[in-house]
Amino acid sequence: MTFGDGGIAIEAVSEADSSSECPSYGSETVTRRGDSFRCHDCALEAHSDVAGAWNLLQSEVGPMARPAGLSAGRDRDASENSPDNDYSRP
């Protein structure tokens, strides 16, 4: 059975240049070195294949929220150490 049998359309696309821009902000001020991808505008750091897949996905379905795995432990997702957590409150 293939995806086509289930009515899911598959289109093969080249991964070339798919990670040449930031998937979060569209910035082209990025550095790609081996498997590492880094955006200099928003400081996004990701595996280059993840950034590439993210860009390809958005090219088909539109803007997406940042995958949770990329922001874990940073910014608003670092809730465990957030000053908003006041455990001394009654």
Residues near Zn ion (CB under 5 A): 22, 24-25, 27, 39, 41-42, 44
Strands (E), 1-90: 30-33, 36-39, 45-47
Inter-residue contact 32 to 20 (CB < 8 Å): yes
* Shortest distance, position 66 Cβ to Zn ion, whole Å: 10
Of 35 and 41, CB closest to Zn ion: 41
**Residue type for position 75:** D
CB atoms within 10 A of CB 59: 11
Of 42 and 57, CB closest to Zn ion: 42
Of 4 and 62, CB closest to Zn ion: 62
* Shortest distance, position 22 Cβ to Zn ion, whole Å: 3
